[in-house]
Structures are given as C-alpha cells and as structure tokens.
Structure 1
Amino acid sequence: MGDLEPWRHAEPTPWSLGVLVTAVSVMFCALTLVGVYTLIGGIVRWAGLVAVLVVALAGSWTLWEFRFRPVWRWLVWGSLTGLLAGFGSAIALFALGQ
C-alpha cells in the first residue's frame, strides 16, 4: 500500500527558518490577544476576557486542520502557542485588575 500523504516525506525539514517563523507567530498572536483584552477590557473587564476567549478558540479551531502541512505547521504551532500565551496573559491581567 502506497503512502497516502507523499508530501510528508518529500523534503528535509527547514529548522532554522521554521523556528524563526514560529517565534514571530508566537509574538504576533500573544500580543494580538493582549491588545484585544486591553481594548475591550478597558470598557468592561469581563467582556475583554470573553473576547479573548472567543478569538483564541476561533483561531485555534481554524488553524488545527493545517497542523501537519509542511509549511503551515510552523505557523500553526507558533500561533497556537501564542494564543495560549496571550490567553494566559489576559487571565493574569484580569486577575491583577487591569
């Protein structure tokens, strides 16, 4: 039986550029969620937390399908890590009363 997904083993993994793309994705997503919390949480604190939860869940749900694609996997895992970090930061800001 042949390989049903030939793109998985086609080329060597570009680790250096992939880790750079992942790091940029982490920072972008984490800072985006902190910005969403700051913007909406400045009006109503709990609404900021709800908005961050909605954005994080929607982004994670959308990106999950691409996690095994050769190029997209770097963006996906970086973005998922950034969404998790941003959600944790929003919870910390909420707990601190900011």
Structure 2
Amino acid sequence: MELRVRDGRAVLAGEDESGEREVDPHSLPLGADLAEALHEWAKVADAVVRTETPSDGVASALITRRGKQLAGRIAAVMNTPVRYTDPVSGELVDVDAPEAPAPAELPAELSAEADPEPTPWGTGLTVTVITAAIVTVTVVSLSLGLGETSRWLALVANVLVVGGLAPSVWLGRNVPVWRWVAYGVVTGVLIAWLALILTLL
C-alpha cells in the first residue's frame, strides 16, 4: 500500500487482480478522523508544491514529517507496511506497522506470583478477644437487666441485637481488617448466650 497526493487529495494505491488501483481513504476502514486528516494534509502539501517552496524550507519539512506520521497511523490501523511518497521531494519512504507493545509487567506486590501478605494473627486475635469481651458483657448485661422485668423481653432484645449485628458481621467476614471484629462479635454472642443459659439452670 502506498500513500500519495493526487490533485490535492490523498489516495492510497495498491495492487489487485486488475493491476494498480488508487482509492480514497474514506473507502477503507481507517476511521473518519484519519481519512479527513489525510485529505487536509494533501491539500496543504499540494498548495506548498504549487507555490514552488524550496524543498529545504520549513513548510516542506513539516509536510514531510506529517506525511510520515499519517503513513505510520495507516500502517498501525491496517497492520501492514505503507510506502509513503513525499509530495515535495518525490522520495519514497517505507513505514512499517508498529509492533504490538510488550505487556507491562505488574509490580511485585500485584503479581500473581508474589507471596501473599502474611496473616497478622497476633494483632487480629487481640482485636477478636477485645471485641468478644465487649459484646459478651453488653449482651449479658442487657439480658440480665431486662430479664428482671420479663424473660420474654430479654429474649426479644437478644433476637433484635443479634439480628441487627448479623448483616454487618456477614459483610465483614471476608474483609481483611474487619473479619477479626466479625469473629469477635460471633464469639461474644455465643459466649453470652452460653452464660445466660448457665444462669437459668
């Protein structure tokens, strides 16, 4: 495939069964933006050539550089090398399709091969024990205080407290920090109920 300027329009030339053909960039799957950019570049290049600007001028250098950029974009989209005919100098330049970039390496801490972070058993179990103690004392105190008025009231209060805590405990069981609190809440409620059952005996 070859990029050329013909009468102020960009054309792409290629060989097929019938010989060489020139096609409008809009007829290829390049995208409307790239096709329009090619035609704008071709108009400017044609104007520069018609005014007979010297080939070593700034405008000519810009035309050449922009043409190579556009040829590179075509090569990337079509995934094929593109020959670029410089409209000012007539020089032919081959532009290869860019190679696919190598996949970026993940940082060691995100890599699947990286060692998982060690479980903080000491700190975690300390949080669990403290949470369990607070929940145990709270549930037992609430239940004994209400039990003096009515055992049914104490039972309803226990169900409401546990029912209120259950969604938070369920959501927190897989969160790295909050799982220790969730373990403490479950342990505290179980210990409190065991203590209440023993007081009834």
Given that 1:30 and 1:85 are in contact with CA atoms closer than 8 Å, whether structure 2 keeps it comes out as yes
2:147 paired with 1:44:
no
Measured on the aligned residues, the alpha-carbon RMSD in Å equals 1.9
Higher relative contact order (CA 8 A, sep 6+): 1
Kindly indicate which of the two structures has a greater share of residues assigned to strand. 2
Alignment map for 1:1-12 (pairs within 5 Å): 11-12=117-118
Q: Which residue of 2 aligns with 1:66?
A: 172
**What CA distance in whole angstroms lies between the structure 1 residues aligned with 2:190 and 2:165?**
11
Post-superposition offset of 1:54: 1.8
Given that 1:34 and 1:90 are in contact with CA atoms closer than 8 Å, whether structure 2 keeps it comes out as yes
2:191 paired with 1:85:
yes
CA gap 1:57/1:92 in 2 versus in 1, 3 angstroms: farther
SS at match of 2:130: helix
Between the two proteins, what is the percent identity of the paired residues? Answer: 34
In structure 1, runs of 5+ residues without a counterpart are 1-5
Residue-by-residue CA offset, 1:25-72 (whole Å, 9 max, x unaligned): 111111110011012111112211221122123212321111011100
2:129 paired with 1:23:
yes
Report which of the two structures shows the higher radius of gyration computed on alpha carbons.
2
AA in 2 matched with 1:64? W
Q: TM-score, normalised on structure 1?
A: 0.77
**What CA distance in whole angstroms lies between the structure 1 residues aligned with 2:134 and 2:116?**
30
Aligned residues: 88
SS at match of 1:68: coil
Relative to structure 2, which stretch is displaced further, 38-47 or 74-83?
38-47
**What CA distance in whole angstroms lies between the structure 1 residues aligned with 2:168 and 2:160?**
12
